[in-house]
Structures are given as structure tokens and as C-alpha cells.
Amino acid sequence: MFILPYAMLVVSLFFIGFAVYGLAVNRQGSLRARLHNLQTIRETTGKPGRRKKTDKKNIYEKFLRENIRIFNKLYINIRPQEIILLDTVCAWAVFLLVYLLLKNIFSALLLGLSGIGLPYLVCLRLLKNKRKSFERLFGDALVLIANVLKSGFSLKQALQIVAEEMPPAVAEEFTVLNQEINFGLDLSEAMSNLAERIPNEHVRLFVTAVNIQNEVGGSMSEIIGKISETIQKKQEMQGDLKALTSQGKTSGFIVGLLPFGICGMIFLMNPDYMRPLFSTPVGMMMIAAAVVLEIMAALTIKAIITVE
């Protein structure tokens, strides 16, 4: 019976790994599903990209809809039942892990409930990293578009070259853009969809410039070239600010991790000495107060080193 919790933990971790692999494979076919949805919408409404409004209330909770929204932003098709199953397994894995470490059922239950939001937090982190990569490479993509336009190619051909030549963070979004245009959406509507998927001021500026140029005309290569120069100058300035504030960020990071590091070292050397901190009401209140103070300190340091 003693080995049963460990076996259950291994099975839970194996299931989580298998689910992550399945979602990664499913991500490859998400674009095809997106285009199928576009086709269905066009056949039923006659207007591509515009859904019929419905008053039917979603029977799932808000957190399920939010999870689905975040997964869809990563081009991962997932059903609410799959989200519930994944959240349950993550919560169960966290519960077993904490229980095996602390031997305290109350702490395990409390921390196990936090595992419900673990997939959501992971997806948020992945989405944030994806958008950072896109913002970092978007200026280079505009330079490529401007150079292609100067060579005599059309805007659609330039967008296709970006989708083929740029790294995945940018190529993926431009692939969706090209697929929507090829499917039959207007260029302005497809560009507006790009701005909705990537809420960034540079993307909005690019989309606005393209839409205005389609209406009034002008040199698209010069306009995009100016936008790329502006983005590159801003990125250089942000790099200088990042270098100036790196010392403050490092100090805040070290100071923030110091209590957890000391607590972990003492727990490894003398678990019985630290166990009351996790198994008594006073200890739990002290942990909660420490976490609140850590968050307040992190927000204060962030406010000090943030330069608009």
C-alpha cells in the first residue's frame, strides 16, 4: 500500500505528458479546422468571417470558456471535457506530490486545488512568450515585406514570402493571414483578424497603413519601410532601458527567491523542524502572510524599475 501513491503519481504524470503530446499533434491540424469553420460560417451567413449572434447560453463555466480561448490562441483545438479531465489530473498529481512530501492531507488538498489552473497558467506563459517572439521579429518581417515590394512583387506575394521565410513565431500568423485571403476574405478583413489575434500597437499600425493604402493608394514599400524603422528604433531604446534596469530586476529576483531557498534547504536538512509550518493553522497563516508580502514586494520593485 505504501507504493500505491507513488504509482498513482507516475501514472498521473504519464497521462499529463501524453496529453501534452496529443495537444501538440492536434495543433498541427488546427489551421485546417479553422478554415473549415470559416467555410461553414460563409455557407450559413454568406459573409465570411462573421458569425451569427445567438442568445443560447453556454452551459460551461466561465473558466472553461477562458481556457478554450487561450488554447485557441495557441492554435490548439480542445473540447471542454478534455479541459476538465486535464485539470483534474493536474490537481490530482499536485495533491499526490504534496502529500508524499509533507504527509499532510490538509496542505495537499489546499495545494492540489491550485493544480486545476495549472494548464491555464502554462498556456498563458506560452502565449506570452509567443507574442514576445512575434514582437521581436515583426520589424524584420516588415523589412522583408518592404524589400519584396520594391522588387516588384505584390503585397499578397510579400505576405506569402514572410510566411515561408520567417521563424515560426511570425510565419504561423502570416500563414493564417494568407490562408484567410486565399479562402476568400477581403484583405482588409484578414488584416483586421491579424490585429485581433496579435494585440500590439505595431501590428495595428501596419494593418491601418495597409487598409488605408488599399483605399487611397500610395507607395506601400515606403510606408512599411518607415514603420519598420520606427519599430527598430523603439526596440533599440527598449534594449537600452532593459540594460539599465537589469541590475534592479536581478536584485529583486534574488531577494524574492531567497526565502523559498532557505526554507527548502532547512526542509531538506531537518524536515521535522519545518513540518509544523505546513501542518498547523499558525504555520499556514504565516505562509499566507509571507506570500502576500512577497507579491507586494515584487509589484513594488516592478513599479520602481518600469520605465514607460
Q: Are residues 211 and 267 in the same domain?
A: no
Q: Are residues 146 and 117 in the same domain?
A: no
Residues 140, 232: contact at Cβ < 8 Å?
no
Residues 278, 284: contact at Cβ < 8 Å?
yes
Q: What is the pTM of this model?
A: 0.65
Chain segment 148-207, per-residue pLDDT in tens: 888 888 888 898 999 888 888 888 889 888 888 888 888 888 888 888 888 888 888 888
Task: Check residue 49 and give left, alpha or beta (phi > 0: left; psi -120 to 50: alpha).
Answer: left
CATH number at residue 202: 1.20.81
- The pLDDT of residue 1: 47
Chain segment 28-76, per-residue pLDDT in tens: 445 555 554 454 444 444 444 444 444 444 545 677 888 888 888 887 7
Domain boundary at 90, 110, 127, which? 127
- The pLDDT of residue 55: 41
Domain count of the fold of the chain: 3
Residue 295 corresponds to which amino acid?
I
Domain boundary at 67, 98, 127, which? 127
Range of the domain at 270: 237-305
Residues 19, 13: contact at Cβ < 8 Å?
no
DSSP state of 52: P
Q: Are residues 53 and 99 in the same domain?
A: yes
Q: Are residues 122 and 136 in the same domain?
A: no
Residues 143, 162: contact at Cβ < 8 Å?
no
Which region among 31-40, 126-135, 215-224 has the lowest average model confidence (pLDDT)? 31-40
Spatial separation of the C-alpha atoms in residues 294 and 259, rounded to whole Å: 9
Q: Are residues 200 and 219 in the same domain?
A: yes
Q: Are residues 207 and 229 in the same domain?
A: yes
Q: Are residues 104 and 88 in the same domain?
A: yes
Q: Are residues 98 and 148 in the same domain?
A: no
DSSP for 244-280, please give it: HHHHHHHHHHHHHHHHHHHHHHHHHH-HHHHHHHHHS
> Where does the pLDDT of residue 11 fall: very low under 50, low under 70, confident under 90, or very high at 90 and above?
low
Q: Are residues 172 and 224 in the same domain?
A: yes
Q: Are residues 29 and 113 in the same domain?
A: yes
Q: Are residues 134 and 123 in the same domain?
A: no
Alpha-carbon radius of gyration of the chain: 25
| Sign of the four-CA dihedral 44, 45, 51, 54 | negative
Spatial separation of the C-alpha atoms in residues 300 and 211, rounded to whole Å: 42
Q: Are residues 42 and 66 in the same domain?
A: yes
Chain segment 82-106, per-residue pLDDT in tens: 888 888 888 888 888 877 777 777 7
Chain segment 256-306, per-residue pLDDT in tens: 888 888 888 888 888 888 888 877 888 888 888 888 888 888 888 777 766
Domain boundary at 233, 256, 287, which? 233
